[in-house]
Amino acid sequence: MRLASVLDPSGTRIGLVNDDDTVALLPATMGTVDDVVRGGAAALDAVRAASAQAEVVPLGQVRLGAPLQRFNRDVLCTGWNYWDHFEESRGKREGQDPAERPKHPTFFTKGPDTVVGPYDDIAYDPEISGKWDYEAEVALVIGTDCRSVSEADALSHVAAFCVANDVSQRDLQRAHGGQWLKGKSIDATMPLGPWLTTLDDVPDPANMRIQCEVNGVVLQDASTAQMAFPFARIIAELSWGMTLRAGDVVLTGTPSGIGNARDPQVFLADGDLVVTRVQGLGELRNRVRLTRLH
């Protein structure tokens, strides 16, 4: 299933996106996508049953918000998870390079107030930062509480996948001790969506094409097969001694092609159109807009 958050005057409703670019609008009494994720298999079954009697409208006639709008905590993130991306930035981290490739996934978090919808504007304030960079990523959503899970069992705790763009402020990353929280937590800068694709509807999570284009130019183009640490390894290591909760969002890293590593460098500016797509998961289309954040 593809679970979307449909915004209308009465509030947020669950929409099931169909292959023919229509969406089945479920009654408001069914709750939100956040409720379904936390409700587990029973909630998904209830959504399937309700969709048979739901009103169906063209997808282009509705407005979609971020599929998840209620967060347990910060968004959980994975850094340096494509070796080509790790290598392209070697020597360009302003003295903050690790000595060697990490032997375990690198984790950090970013604030949930970064999240915007799949077609919303990305906030841009040059007074906050002079280096706004794009990062196409696959996000996964935890479906059941888990702790210290094995790699073999890890994907059984995933409810769905979606697309994200981890827009980052590179100068803020460097300015605050080389840690990533501040440089990745600026409000209204992380598009998420366009919907949640449940695990059973993703043909091959280990081999999905991921792209980012800016103003029609493809700047990132890779496959999840190139990940340094696959999805199951990420979940297993992140959950080691640490409980993951249903509804937690985990970003899984970006491939090469980021603006900071290019020569000359490419950074986002007011008016830029950023398109982020992942095979089988959909596409985000977001305009960078001048926004006062200070």
pLDDT tens across the length of the chain (294 residues): 999 999 988 899 999 999 999 999 999 999 999 999 999 999 999 999 999 999 999 999 999 999 999 999 999 999 999 999 888 977 666 666 776 889 999 999 999 999 999 999 999 999 999 999 999 999 999 999 999 999 999 999 999 999 999 999 999 988 988 789 999 999 999 999 999 999 999 989 999 999 999 999 999 999 999 999 999 999 999 999 999 999 999 999 999 999 999 999 999 999 999 999 999 999 999 999 999 999
Structure confidence at residue 98 (pLDDT) = 74
Residue 40: burial class (beta carbons within 10 Å; 0-12, 13-18, 19+): middle
Pairing of strands 55-58, 115-116: unpaired
| Residue 42, pLDDT score | 96
Cα gap 157→278, rounded to integer Å: 21
State residue 154's pLDDT score. 98
CATH of segment(s) 75-290: 3.90.850.10
Contacts of 174 (CB under 8 A, 6+ apart): 93, 94, 96, 183
Q: What is the pTM of this model?
A: 0.96
Residue corresponding to tokens 């280990």: 206
Q: How far is CA 143 from CA 84, 138, 202, 232, 287, in A?
A: 30, 16, 15, 14, 31
How far is Cα 46 from Cα 137, in angstroms, rounded to an integer? 30
The pair phi, psi for residue 197, each rounded to 5°, is -100, 115
**Residue 235 forms beta bridges with which residues?**
none
Pairing of strands 22-25, 11-17: antiparallel
Report the distance separating Cα 281 and Cα 139, nearest Å: 10
- Strand-pair category, 158-165 with 75-79: unpaired
Q: How big is the CA angle at 223 (ends 219 and 229), to the nearest 5 degrees?
A: 115
User: What does the pLDDT look like over 146-175, one tens digit per residue?
Assistant: 999 999 999 999 999 999 999 999 999 889
Burial 75-94 (b: 16+ CB within 10 A, else e): bbbbbbbbeebbebbeeeee
